[in-house]
């Protein structure tokens, strides 16, 4: 059974990707899991300057879900490029650099920095982070701004370009089309849904940042619908994510039209999830005589 | 960066017992973890196959028995997850991720002038292993332990004989009536420390208690280690969810699950801790 897949020029050994922000830069993951279980890894959202992140508490569990308000804590692009990526590259798994910025100029500068690293296989432009005040989600909720930020990156980055979309919009297909028009080779969806929780004992919001991003099984139906809509609206491959915690979940995304999938919250609960999901997809296909992944991509739409 | 392997084991529960009131204790057959864990490390316990509750729950190792391949955790029922765990039975299997956190390297601590442990409520649990290791190194160990009432105290019989135990309860049902920090202060006032050198202090418990302990230790010039709890998602360093504000040289935040849970009190800003 052939599990390889192609994401706009980025070839993956298997379709399971580590979602940005739930894998760090691999250094801690490796103590609990095996990086080679992944088809590719997307690193923590990185900005030009280091960011300390939001005040605690930063997480709160909700029914089958997780609210987080990390706030893009990261050591800045320079440290990531010089210290984190050379180490991560030794595992020979394609590295997707997830980048976040407050302006098109910054996006362009950041993309140029990563373009000089020999270790980056693809860029993932995060126009969908709900946890930062400036930039972030603003780029992903307006088709024109999504076009401009994607274009800014496209002009300085020749490799595979992925744009990561937010579900916090009325029509995700219009944003998706804008990204593709600006030169995106693939789309990642979805980022988290904006939410909040209140502690009735303290009568205060639970999260230090008040609002946070909802992820996990609770958002899977929303994510699946987004993948379904976007994959029929554009011609580029889609990376589906949102609540995947089993091979069955991953298969649903593939059948809805995703060419690959990412696991985020699932990785926080179970470091071995990439192995389980890949194995489960293989078993499903073999039991049905399916020989390539492409036979199931979009199967639910045919 | 420590290179200690983290194991995700499907382990058999050896026993679950109700210590008293809402406090439970569980022994788990997990040789990989028992064989490598350090005092004051913790494990992340999966609550089952359901996605609700979704996340694992972190618990300190209250017992580490490498020879028998057994670890032990002690917990208080405070919500859904800990309630579910209270219903578990011997023979069942449970998924446990660990050992997690930095833990304590007792060999690096100065024990010449004794060790003082200060705990509140379930905060005593992680202090059993360091207490027994310090005793094995022939250190004098004083344990100051407080809770709301006698019903909330952990089983102090588990403290290796040889520790000097000082109990406090807020309602006076056992031991000193009042806060454990008042008891500590009274003790230090009587004993004085004069030229006798400075004991090392390790504390674990609710934040207001930790702040007060930090206050007392600063006044006496005692080095203080604290073990922190913060809401966690992964427990193994990948999500940056467990931030605690730093103080001193480093700016920004530490991760409780990997940089901690054990910190020198001077390195963190307890003022902003949320628990
Ligand atoms: C490193 C570490 C070691 C710990 N060791 C012990 C121990 O040895 N014994 C013990 O009884 N408890 C310990 N705790 C606390 C324990 O993890 C929580 O009480 C437990 O997760 C609550 O789960 P629940 O589903 O019952 O409660 P929930 O219904 O989820 O919440 C009830 C309360 O617990 C708090 N809480 C929820 N999740 C966490 C979390 N992940 N970390 C801290 N607080 C949380 C909430 O703020 C809330 O007040 C430790 C926590 C940490 C971070
Ligand atoms: C703790 C946490 C941190 C995240 N950080 C980022 C990030 O830095 N950049 C990004 O594009 N997405 C980030 N995400 C979103 C995930 O990559 C993913 O899109 C989302 O969580 C949905 O997938 P899931 O339900 O499998 O987690 C984060 C999610 C979580 C839970
Ligand atoms: S709980 Fe995820 S980094 Fe600490």
- CATH number of the domain enclosing B45: 2.40.30.10
| pTM score | 0.95
With a pLDDT cut of 90, the percent of chain A lying above it is 92
In a domain, B273, yes or no: no
Last residue of a domain, one of B65, B100, B135: B100
Residue A274 corresponds to which tokens in the numbers above? 């990439």
Q: What is the pLDDT of residues B146-189, one digit of tens each?
A: 999 988 888 887 777 889 999 999 999 999 999 999 999 988 87
Query: Final residue of a domain: which of B77, B100, B123?
Result: B100
Is B93 contained in some domain? yes
Q: Are residues B249 and B129 part of one domain?
A: yes
Q: In angstroms, rounded to a whole number, what is the distance separating the alpha carbons of residues B88 and B91? A: 9
- Smallest Cβ–Cβ distance between B238 and the set A22, A64, A73 belongs to A22
Which residue is catalytic, options A104, A129, A146, A226? A129
CA-CA-CA-CA torsion for A231, A237, A243, A244, nearest 10 degrees? 120
- Can you name the residues that pair with B7 across neighbouring β-strands? B98
Buried b vs exposed e over A182-193: b needs ≥16 C-beta within 10 Å? bbbbbbbbbbbb
Percent helix, strand and coil across chain A, each rounded to 5? 35, 20, 40
Report residue B247 as tokens: 């103080």
Do residue B85 and residue B112 come from a single domain?
no
Is the CB of A136 within 6 Å of ligand 2?
A: no
In this complex, do A268 and B1 lie within 8 Å of one another by their Cβ atoms?
no
Domain for residue B145, yes or no? yes
ipTM of model: 0.94
At residue B274 the predicted structure's pLDDT band, cuts being 50, 70 and 90, is very low
Whether residue B41 sits in one domain with residue B169: no
Q: Among B82, B100, B118, where does a domain finish?
A: B100
| A58-75 burial code (b ≥16 CB/10 A, e <16) | bbbbbebbbbbbbbbbbb
- Tell me: do B157 and B253 sit in the same domain: yes
First to last CA, chain B: 26
The mean of the pLDDT values for chain B is 92
Distance B120 CA to ligand 2 centre (A): 36
Give the distance, in angstroms, between the CA of residue A247 and the centroid of all CA atoms in the same chain: 18
Residue B194: per-residue pLDDT: 57
Read off the pLDDT of each residue in B218-235 and give the average, rounded to a whole number.
Answer: 94
Tens of pLDDT, residues B32-46: 999 999 999 999 999
Q: Is residue A204 part of a domain?
A: no
Tell me, what CATH number does A295's domain have? 3.20.20.70
Residue A60 lies in a domain: no
Q: What is the total count of domains within chain A?
A: 1
Strands, sheet with A211-215, edge to edge from the N-terminal-most edge strand: A59-62, A65-68, A211-215, A193-196
- Residue B203: which CATH number? 3.40.50.80
**Residue A211, domain member (yes or no):** no
Record: contact A29-B52, CB cut-off 8 A: no
Cβ atoms of A241 and A190 within 8 Å: the answer is yes
Q: What is the mean pLDDT of chain A?
A: 95
Instruction: Please check whether residues B89 and B174 belong to one and the same domain.
Output: no
Does residue A101 sit in helix, strand or coil? coil
Contacts with B257 (C-beta within 8 Å, 6 or more apart), sequence order: B58, B100, B101, B232, B234, B235, B236, B237, B242
B80 and B120 fall within a common domain: no
Residue A137 inside a domain? The answer is yes
Distance from CA of B186 to the nearest CA of A (A): 33
Q: Do residue A27 and residue B52 have CB atoms under 8 angstroms apart? A: no
Spell out which residues line ligand 3, taking CB within 6 angstroms. B 232-235, 237-242, 255, 257
Residue A16 belongs to some domain of the structure: yes
Q: Are residues B119 and B246 in the same domain?
A: yes
Residue B254 confidence (pLDDT): 96
Does some domain include residue B275?
no
Q: What gap in Å lies between CA B171 and CA B177, rounded to an integer?
A: 6
> Which of these, A234, A233, A253, lies nearest to A243 by C-alpha position?
A253
How far apart are the CA of A245 and the nearest CA of chain B, in angstroms? 9
Domain that residue A263 falls in: 5-53+72-196+216-301
Please tell me the distance between residue B237's alpha carbon and the centre of ligand 1 in angstroms. 17
> Domain tally for chain B?
2
Domain that holds residue B241: 106-267
Does the residue A181 lie in any domain?
yes
Residue B211 binned pLDDT confidence (cut-offs 50, 70, 90): very high
Contact B272 A56 (CB under 8 A): yes
CA of B57 to the centre of ligand 1 (A): 6
Residue A65 forms part of a structural domain? no
Active site residue A129: yes
Specify if B79 maps to a domain. Answer: yes
- Residue B139 in domain: yes
């Amino acid at each position: 059974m052939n599990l390889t897949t192609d994401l706009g020029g980025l070839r993956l050994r298997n379709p399971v990707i580590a979602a940005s922000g739930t894998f760090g830069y691999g250094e801690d993951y490796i103590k609990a899991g095996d990086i080679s279980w992944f088809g590719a890894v997307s690193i923590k959202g990185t900005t030009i300057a280091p960011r300390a992140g939001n005040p605690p508490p930063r997480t709160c569990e909700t029914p089958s879900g997780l609210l987080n308000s990390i706030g893009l804590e990261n050591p800045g692009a320079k440290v990531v490029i010089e210290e984190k990526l050379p180490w991560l590259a030794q595992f020979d798994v394609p590295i997707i650099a997830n980048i976040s910025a407050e302006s098109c100029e910054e996006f362009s500068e950041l993309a140029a920095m990563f373009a000089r690293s020999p270790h980056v296989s693809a860029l993932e432009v995060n126009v969908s982070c709900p946890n930062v005040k400036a930039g972030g989600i603003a780029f992903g909720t307006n088709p024109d701004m999504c076009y401009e930020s994607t274009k800014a990156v496209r002009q300085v980055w020749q490799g595979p370009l992925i744009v990561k979309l937010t579900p916090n919009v009325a029509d995700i297909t219009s944003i998706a089309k804008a990204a593709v028009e600006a030169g995106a080779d693939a789309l990642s969806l979805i980022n988290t849904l904006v939410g909040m929780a209140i502690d009735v004992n303290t009568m205060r919001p639970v999260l230090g940042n008040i609002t946070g991003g909802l992820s996990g099984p609770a958002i899977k139906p929303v994510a699946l619908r987004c993948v379904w809509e976007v994959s029929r609206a554009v011609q580029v491959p889609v990376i589906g994510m949102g609540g995947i915690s089993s091979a069955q979940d991953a298969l649903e995304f593939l059948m809805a039209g995703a060419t690959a999938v990412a696991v985020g919250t699932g990785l926080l609960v179970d470091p071995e999830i990439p192995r389980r999901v890949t194995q489960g997809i293989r078993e499903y296909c073999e039991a049905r005589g399916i020989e390539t992944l492409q036979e199931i991509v979009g199967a639910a739409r045919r | 960066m420590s290179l200690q392997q983290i194991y995700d084991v499907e382990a058999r529960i050896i026993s679950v017992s109700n210590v008293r009131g809402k406090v439970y204790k569980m022994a788990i057959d997990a040789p990989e973890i028992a064989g490598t864990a350090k005092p004051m490390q913790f494990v992340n316990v999966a609550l089952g196959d359901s996605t609700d509750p979704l996340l694992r729950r972190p618990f300190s190792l209250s017992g580490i028995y490498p020879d028998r391949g057994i670890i032990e955790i002690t917990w208080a029922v405070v919500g859904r997850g800990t309630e579910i765990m209270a219903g578990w039975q011997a023979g069942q299997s449970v998924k446990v991720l660990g050992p997690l956190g930095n833990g304590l390297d007792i060999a690096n601590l100065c024990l010449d002038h004794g060790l003082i442990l200060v705990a509140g409520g379930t905060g005593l649990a992680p202090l059993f292993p360091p207490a027994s290791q310090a005793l094995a190194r022939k250190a004098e160990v004083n344990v100051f332990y407080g809770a709301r009432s006698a019903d909330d105290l952990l089983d102090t019989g588990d403290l290796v004989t040889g520790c000097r135990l000082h109990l406090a309860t807020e309602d006076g049902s056992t031991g000193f009536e009042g806060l454990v920090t008042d008891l500590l202060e009274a003790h230090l006032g009587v004993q004085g420390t004069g030229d006798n050198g400075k004991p090392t202090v390790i504390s674990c418990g609710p934040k207001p208690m930790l702040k007060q302990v930090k206050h007392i230790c600063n006044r006496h010039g005692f080095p203080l280690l604290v073990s922190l709890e913060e809401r966690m998602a992964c427990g193994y360093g990948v999500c940056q969810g467990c931030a605690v504000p730093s103080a001193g040289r480093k700016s920004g935040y530490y991760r409780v699950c990997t940089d901690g849970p054990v910190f020198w009190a001077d390195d963190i800003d307890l003022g902003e801790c949320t628990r």
